[in-house]
Amino acid sequence: MKTALITGVTGQDGSYLAEYLLSLGYHVVGLKRRTSLICTDRIDKIFEHENFSLEYFELDDPGVIYRLINKYNPNEIYNLAAQTHVRVSFDIPLSTTNTIVTGVTNILEAIRNTNPKIKFYQASSSEMFGDNPEVPQNELTRLSPASPYACAKVYAHHLVRNYRESYGIFACSGMLFNHESPRRGETFVTRKITMAAAKIKLGLQDKLYLGNLDALRDWGFAGDYVKAMHMMLQHGEPDDYVIATGVSKTVKDWLEKVFEIAGLSIEEFVEIDSRFFRPHEVPHLLGDYSKAKKMLGWEPLITFDDLAEMMYNSDLKFCKNQLKRL
């Protein structure tokens, strides 16, 4: 039985990846920060699985990583832990960059010094392309980060390649474009919109306040994207891959689709608020995933419209259940 360590297991991607690897017969060791709140709702359905273990760790404590590698002898490590909200990274740049930069460095050093045969996956981001006007973006597109979050991700991305080339470690980076799901945090614009639409529909919220509606993004389903992470580590040679849908839509497109599904009027319930604009906006992200399709056989399955309906229906169900408890 293969063993995989997943940092950030209680997050959106970590929970989907854990479920997927368990379905493949893995022993999954999920790593989460020790906080005052027990936030494990995304992994409730696998918490009691006989092949799932939960461990506490901190990315800035290298001793914990060494201990867990020695304890579990993993075949694969997936580093998904980070402060992932781009807008928030402008408010807490030091915390954001420390988590990303220190974390990947500690894990790669632990692999190098304990067992260089461990395969490693790093969660890179389409935000690394930033304000580069070249579209679509692929693995060779110049990186032009436009936020503290993206700057830290660029460092991590280059460090993965450096350890791969310098020490022969099987290390891959997934340059994932926007990937959403019902498990997305409510501060992210896609989930913010679907949750607000559900609450407005049920009379629980009066208005939805948003920032830039013109930003173009390549939106996919997180459940599809975690399969690409696994595929990278099963391939014959380590490399970096863009994971995307190849279709870009604006935030306004997402808003219109969700409100159409909900039967709501944008003019009546939505207002623009300057507080939600980024200090440095990224206008257009569109991924070219042809390399992943050719080398890994990966393709996205869930469409933009299906994703919007999935997330809205999930939030509507959640809100209805909350009302029943009142």
Active-site residue numbers? 125, 127, 149
Interatomic CA distance for residues 207 and 258, integer angstroms: 15
What distance in Å separates the CA atoms of residue 266 and residue 251, rounded to the nearest whole number? 13
Q: In terms of Cα–Cα distance, which of 284, 46, 57 is closest to 183?
A: 46
- Token couple for 39: 């936030």
Residue 14 near residue 8, CB atoms below 8 Å: yes
The span from the first CA to the last CA of the chain, in angstroms, equals 46
CB-based burial, 93-109: b 16+ in 10 Å, e otherwise: beebbebbbbbbbbbbe
Within 8 A by CB and 6+ apart from 190, the residues are 178, 180, 184, 219, 254, 311
